[in-house]
Amino acid sequence: FSGRLDYLSAPRSARASRGGSAHARTRPVVPVARLVGSLGPSSSSPSSPSSASSASPACSLEGSARRRVGGKRARVVSMPSSSSSSPLGSLRLIQHKHEAFWFYRYLSIVYDHIVNPGHWTQDMRRDALEPANLSAVTETMAVIDVGGGTGFSTTGIVEGGVKASQITMVDQSPHQLAKARVKPQLQGCTIMEGDAEDLPVPSDCFDRYVSCGSIEYWPDPQRGIAEAFRVVKPGALACLVGPVKPTHWLSKFMAEAWMLFPREDEYIAWFTRAGFEDVKLKRIGPSWYRGCRKHGLIMGCSVTGVKPASASGPSTLDLGEKAEETVQESRPKAFNLAASLRTIARVVLGSLAGFYYFLLPVYMWIKNFILPKHIRFD
């Protein structure tokens, strides 16, 4: 099942105010004003992602240090949004870098065999990456896959026509990356440990930014999307695939306990505030869900935006301090028993909430198998 929701860039006045240069049923286009709300009406002035400048500075990744802006560490934004509020605190149990690190320490063992079949199939991957227009990537272009994990999405980029040698893959989990390193399709990829909110690569470096199934673990989603804006070349395109918020009461409770499930309008707002133009959102989901979205989806939408051809370097957002360091960045530290026990408790409880979302696709599959095909699951 798939349907497209198209949004054009915010009007010129809005850009100035922020300082920034497979179900057969057809889904209706949702008006920008209704979905985005405070962003206001749209105007059509898209930049062509295929026109990304090839004259940008050389993007050598060797010895790339954490980037600085104006001689100082770039600051992080914490934009207000309803996704920030949760009955369990400002962040969900696994929406922390330390908890996500340990969560994937054990999940990486079975990730490709359990997670992907229920939430992130090859057909969904192909559908989600279609807006990235990978077929237009030439041999002189570069692609970055942020939060690439075991390399499932990266393999989809290769199948989309991009050579492995053109891809830089970044993830904070060495356990996930260990799985990616042994995949034959990814031989030749540049594979790096790094933080999606503070990428260890130069600005204006890539012709495509891709991130699939990573944003749900970002403590500050707006910062991560601002990083996407920074690392792509002027005129280049960013594509982010992530979850969507449930409305069913039980699914909503479990999602809030587990990790970040944004609303569709929040994705649009984050991209627009970062400075992207021609922002679009495409709905995706497992075919056996028959279009049902009330339970939320771990992979529920593909969002794209184009960096203006006149822009270069970081987003003009006024950013605050980064909310959290990664496990690797925070070492060395003296052992803290209370903090360790708190992390263990959050990982265990968050994993129990996440287990609900491993059972849900099975329930939906059985429902799809039993009920007549003409019945929708809305």
pLDDT on residue 17: 37
Q: Token pair for residue 204? A: 């204006």
Q: What is the pLDDT of residues 38-86, one digit of tens each?
A: 333 333 333 445 444 443 445 766 545 444 333 333 333 334 444 444 4
Mean pLDDT, residues 174-192 taken together? 95
Q: Token pair for residue 339? A: 């903090």
Find where tokens 């990664």 sit.
326
Name the pLDDT band for 243 (thresholds 50, 70, 90).
Answer: very high
**DSSP per-residue string spanning 131-156:** GG-GGG--TT--EEEET-TTSHHHHH
Task: Check residues 277 and 8 and name the one with the higher pLDDT.
Answer: 277
Q: In angstroms, rounded to a whole number, what is the distance separating the alpha carbons of residues 108 and 104?
A: 5
Name the pLDDT band for 155 (thresholds 50, 70, 90).
Answer: very high
Neighbours of 75 (CB within 10 A): 13
Q: What is the pLDDT of residues 22-41, one digit of tens each?
A: 333 333 333 333 343 333 33
Share the mean pLDDT of the chain. Answer: 79
pLDDT on residue 70: 32
**DSSP per-residue string spanning 50-70:** GG--S-SPP---TTPPPPEET
pLDDT on residue 90: 53
pLDDT on residue 312: 93
pLDDT on residue 327: 63
Name the pLDDT band for 321 (thresholds 50, 70, 90).
Answer: confident
Sign of the C-alpha dihedral, residues 25, 44, 304, 99? negative
Determine which of 70-74, 136-140, 239-243, 352-356 has the lowest per-residue pLDDT on average.
70-74
Q: What is the pLDDT of residues 193-221, one digit of tens each?
A: 999 999 999 999 999 999 999 999 899 99
pTM, rounded to two decimals: 0.77
**Is the pLDDT reported for residue 262 higher than 60?**
yes
